[in-house]
Every structure is written in C-alpha cells, then in structure tokens.
Amino acid sequence: MSECYEYVPHRLLYRRVRDIASGVEGVLMAVINENVSDTGIERWMELAYIRGASGREFTTAVANVEPALDQPQTAVGRRDERSA
C-alpha cells in the first residue's frame, strides 16, 4: 500500500461541521486525498478529518460534510441582511 497523501483545500476548514452519515458535529481539521486500499490496487479518496467534542478525530467522506447549523454569521452576512 502506498503511503502517499495530499492535503486538499476546503471552504469549511477550521469551521464547525456535521458528518451527515453519523450526525456527529466537530471542527473540520483537514481534507486529505488518501490511498484507502488495503490491496495492491490503489484506491484514492478524499477524506475529511473532523475533531469531535471529545478531542478525538474521526474520518468521513468529504461528501458527508456540511456546515453545522449553529455557525456564527460572518460580518459580510450581517451587512447583506441590513441592506436588504
């Protein structure tokens, strides 16, 4: 198995997210393109590393990551609401 991996940029890095597969919320710490195969044939997948409330990190597919509902609004979001 190849030990190569690559960090991937993501719009929700270091933000509070929810794993839709498990319902667990935490902070998205990294997105890494990893070889997840345990055979000789490589199988690459983008995995999200989420740090839960306990401090332990778990992985899930990037497609399972969504912003947590309790996200604070940004200054831009508040400014847009006032101008509407």
Q: What is the pTM of this model?
A: 0.75
Q: Print pLDDT tens along the chain (84 aa).
A: 446 788 999 999 999 999 999 999 999 999 999 988 888 899 999 999 999 999 999 999 999 999 998 755 554 444 445 444
Instruction: Tell me the Cα Rg of the chain.
Output: 16
DSSP string, 1-47: ----EEE---TTTTSEEEETTT--EEEEEEEEEEE--SSSS--EEEE
Say if strands 44-52 and 65-67 run parallel, antiparallel, or are unpaired. Answer: unpaired
